[in-house]
A and B are shown apart, each in its own frame.
Chain A
Amino acid sequence: MTNATDFLLSVEGLTVSFDGFKAVDDLSFYVDENEIRVIIGPNGAGKTTVLDLICGRTKASGGSVKFRGKELTAMREHQIVHAGVGRKFQNPSIYDDLTVFENLEISYPRGRSVWGALAFKRDAAVRERIHEIAEMIFLADHLEQRAEYLSHGQKQWLEIGMLLIQDPQLLMLDEPVAGMSVNERVKTAELLNRIIADRSVIVIEHDMKFVEDIAHKVTVLHQGKILSEGSMERVKNDPKVVEVYLGH
């Protein structure tokens, strides 16, 4: 067993059961600094549940998740965020009633307590950072627009932007290109390639072309367990993987 402190994230023996059904079963994997890890697997394999467990949305029944030596399973959601873990949901999860600017502002990592939020001032540093991020996520011209009126792809970018502004050390993306047009998909891949510098990313994705483009390492989940792990090349040629997943 490798020394857990060498990794940014070490998941060991992670288990969760819902009414006896083990959605994630004794799962262990390790993510390095600056690594892009893609998790693939058929529907119901437990991919999203793994992200839920890491970010504290679901409580684990057993096992441990260590992020830079800190045990995440004992922390509450907002504390996990403060520790440096960002999570993007599968469906674009943004605030429809607020403008793009306000969406980004809420995600800006300052004034996160009740009194801090009351006293929060929209100063130059905040504006500058929001403009910088908006530029990056192709929404610089939409800052004053209500988020409700963005296209599906733009909403996905906005949510990625909301995570970027927090500057997390570990970014978890759940199907970031699902439902996007070809054009948007290309732009998203470009965006992801730019933002992965200086951070680790865990991505869940179905689009094999996209996975091949970005993955350093691929983990294949099946029925809550790891079926195969390694480079895309290796995983693609693993007969077990071909049988349950890629072959279809």
Chain B
Amino acid sequence: MTRSFLTGTRGELLGVGVLALLVLLVLPLSLDVFRLNLVGKYLTYAFVAVGLVLCWGSAGILSLGQGIFFGLGGYCMAMFLKLEASNPEATKIQSTPGIPDFMDWNQLTSLPWFWEPFHSLTFSLAAVVLVPSALAFVIGVAMFKRRVGGVYFAIITQAIAAILTILIVGQQGYTGGINGITDLRTLKGWDIRTDEAKLVLYFVNAALLLGCILLCLAVRRSKLGRILVALRDKEDRVRFSGYDVANFKTFVFCLAAALAGVGGAMFTLQVGFMSPSFVGIVPSIELVIYCAVGGRLSLLGAVYGTLLVNWAKTSFSESFPELWLFAMGALFIGVVMAFPNGLAGLFQTHVVPRLDRLRGRGLPPVPGPTRMAAE
């Protein structure tokens, strides 16, 4: 079998190194704080895309509801920040000082019980990971134990995304409604709105993303990673090799949800608010598109896909706002029809063989379908 110097553990680590160089050095040096903050926002979506690579790419479980988990993570963070911003001092003009402003507008006179624990930063940070994965666990057990899969699973995740949006919008007094949770100011007294804070948060976010990618690489290199590929291919064979397939699917779905939650929390911190517009069906599908464009089999590809599509979205919708949705739809169809493995697939078939030749190893290009499919 032909092996390129870019495949295998060394190649993957090299790829992570290049990405680290890009997000930690090249981008910060070449962009102003405003643009860098924008990139930071895009990178929070990359957490979801990376999770989708494991869940959809490796295990074949397409979730069209990752916005749910992104949103839950974001809301957990926003609830903490909102409580800090709503100290009695800052809210003394309200009829009930000390509760978030939107609650006061909605005639609530005390903080709802489920908001109470979000006074604690430790609890909130834990919730960012645990709330999304707990919901994913419930959905996973309910669906996978009953052997619901494929399109049906995708539709159900979409329905849940829609339900959650309606719930958040409808329960205005508890959630901030359609506006979301806004006007977030400080984290333990540290103002997150300054340029300096944005720079720090950008680096925290980038480092976390790189950490998550390394974690996913480790998962994929474990036997569990190979079992995920196996069950995408022949679920029955895995079952009759003595594995409880539902547990594995639930695990990877929970992992993807936890990653999405981290992304959502970092979004809230960098952008300064969270709203239901990041929870529903449309954002969930956009997240899948980022992953598909980048290549659903490649963790790094998903990051580049996210950056590229968002960059295109920003520049395109600045000039032709009404055309962007059509362009994205066309992009998705184009990618699925012509390049099912996305940018990473193109890289693997066209760039890698050339790089190998440049290194003078004289390796012939990988014939036919590449090793990508298993990765």
- A residues in contact (CB < 8 Å) with B: 55, 57, 76-78, 81-82, 86-87, 89, 93-99, 102-103, 105-107, 109, 111-114, 117-120, 144-146, 148, 159, 162, 166
Task: Write 5 A-B pairs (CB below 8 A) sorted by A numbering.
Answer: A78-B242, A78-B244, A89-B240, A99-B374, A107-B241
> Smallest distance from the beta carbon of B185 to chain A beta carbons, Å?
40
Contacting residues of chain B (228-285) with chain A, CB-CB under 8 angstroms: 229-230, 232-234, 236-245, 247-248, 251
5 tightest A-B CB contacts, nearest first = A81-B242, A120-B223, A117-B224, A97-B374, A95-B230
Q: Note all chain B residues with C-beta closer than 8 A to A93.
A: 234, 236-237
> Smallest distance from the beta carbon of A58 to chain B beta carbons, Å?
12
Are the C-beta atoms of A113 and B247 separated by less than 8 Å? yes
Q: Note all chain B residues with C-beta closer than 8 A to A78.
A: 239-240, 242-245
Are the C-beta atoms of A98 and B1 separated by less than 8 Å? no
The residue on A at minimum CB distance from B231 is A95
Are the C-beta atoms of A94 and B242 separated by less than 8 Å? no
The answer for the CA separation of A146 and B374 in the assembled complex, in Å, is: 9
Are the C-beta atoms of A144 and B1 separated by less than 8 Å? yes
Which of the residues B219, B238, B245 comes within 8 Å of A106, measured between beta carbons? B238
Are the C-beta atoms of B241 and A162 separated by less than 8 Å? yes
Q: Note all chain B residues with C-beta closer than 8 A to A159.
A: 237
Q: Note all chain B residues with C-beta closer than 8 A to A86.
A: 240
Are the C-beta atoms of A94 and B237 separated by less than 8 Å? yes
The winner among B230, B237, B371 for most chain A CB atoms within 10 A is B237
Are the C-beta atoms of B242 and A117 separated by less than 8 Å? no
Are the C-beta atoms of A120 and B241 separated by less than 8 Å? no
> Does B373 touch A at the CB level, under 8 Å?
yes
Q: How many chain-B residues does the 8 Å CB contact rule pick out?
A: 29
Q: Note all chain A residues with C-beta closer than 8 A to B30.
A: none
Q: Note all chain B residues with C-beta closer than 8 A to A112.
A: 242-244
The winner among A77, A86, A95, A119 for most chain B CB atoms within 10 A is A95
The answer for the CA separation of A163 and B85 in the assembled complex, in Å, is: 61
Are the C-beta atoms of A55 and B223 separated by less than 8 Å? no
- Given A97-B230, A148-B369, 14 further pairs, Cβ under 8 A: A57-B240, A95-B229, A98-B230, A98-B233, A99-B374, A106-B226, A106-B227, A106-B230, A109-B242, A112-B243, A114-B247, A117-B227, A120-B223, A162-B237
The residue on A at minimum CB distance from B3 is A144
Are the C-beta atoms of A118 and B241 separated by less than 8 Å? no
CB-CB contacts of B196-234 with A at 8 A, as 1s and 0s? 000000000000000000000001001110110110111
Are the C-beta atoms of A117 and B374 separated by less than 8 Å? no
The residue on A at minimum CB distance from B223 is A120
Are the C-beta atoms of A55 and B247 separated by less than 8 Å? no
The residue on A at minimum CB distance from B1 is A144
Are the C-beta atoms of B229 and A98 separated by less than 8 Å? yes
Q: Note all chain A residues with C-beta closer than 8 A to B236.
A: 57, 89, 93
Are the C-beta atoms of A82 and B242 separated by less than 8 Å? yes
Given A81-B241, A97-B373, A106-B241: A111 touches B234 (CB 8 Å cut-off): no
Given A97-B373, A120-B222: A81 touches B234 (CB 8 Å cut-off): no
The winner among A97, A98, A99 for most chain B CB atoms within 10 A is A97
Q: Note all chain B residues with C-beta closer than 8 A to A109.
A: 242
Q: Note all chain B residues with C-beta closer than 8 A to A77.
A: 239-240
Q: Note all chain B residues with C-beta closer than 8 A to A103.
A: 230
The answer for the CA separation of A226 and B100 in the assembled complex, in Å, is: 75
CB-CB contacts of B1-20 with A at 8 A, as 1s and 0s? 10000000000000000000
The answer for the CA separation of A106 and B225 in the assembled complex, in Å, is: 10
The answer for the CA separation of A82 and B234 in the assembled complex, in Å, is: 19
- B residues in contact (CB < 8 Å) with A: 1, 219, 222-224, 226-227, 229-230, 232-234, 236-245, 247-248, 251, 369, 371, 373-374
> Smallest distance from the beta carbon of A11 to chain B beta carbons, Å?
19
Q: Note all chain A residues with C-beta closer than 8 A to B233.
A: 95-98
The residue on B at minimum CB distance from A96 is B233
Are the C-beta atoms of B240 and A118 separated by less than 8 Å? no
The answer for the CA separation of A144 and B230 in the assembled complex, in Å, is: 16
Which of the residues A87, A97, A111 comes within 8 Å of B240, measured between beta carbons? A87
Q: Note all chain B residues with C-beta closer than 8 A to A148.
A: 369
Are the C-beta atoms of B230 and A55 separated by less than 8 Å? no
The answer for the CA separation of A49 and B233 in the assembled complex, in Å, is: 23
The winner among A94, A112, A119 for most chain B CB atoms within 10 A is A112
Are the C-beta atoms of A98 and B374 separated by less than 8 Å? yes
Which of the residues A76, A95, A120, A144 comes within 8 Å of B244, measured between beta carbons? A76
Are the C-beta atoms of B241 and A166 separated by less than 8 Å? yes
> Smallest distance from the beta carbon of A104 to chain B beta carbons, Å?
10
Given A93-B234, A144-B1: A117 touches B223 (CB 8 Å cut-off): yes
> Smallest distance from the beta carbon of B244 to chain A beta carbons, Å?
5
The residue on A at minimum CB distance from B375 is A97
Which of the residues A89, A117, A145 comes within 8 Å of B1, measured between beta carbons? A145
Q: Note all chain A residues with C-beta closer than 8 A to B241.
A: 81, 106-107, 162, 166
> Smallest distance from the beta carbon of B27 to chain A beta carbons, Å?
33
The residue on A at minimum CB distance from B373 is A97
> Smallest distance from the beta carbon of A111 to chain B beta carbons, Å?
6
Are the C-beta atoms of B224 and A114 separated by less than 8 Å? yes
Are the C-beta atoms of A117 and B234 separated by less than 8 Å? no
Q: Note all chain A residues with C-beta closer than 8 A to B251.
A: 114
Are the C-beta atoms of A117 and B248 separated by less than 8 Å? yes
> Smallest distance from the beta carbon of B4 to chain A beta carbons, Å?
15
> Smallest distance from the beta carbon of B20 to chain A beta carbons, Å?
25
Q: Note all chain A residues with C-beta closer than 8 A to B240.
A: 55, 57, 77-78, 81, 86-87, 89
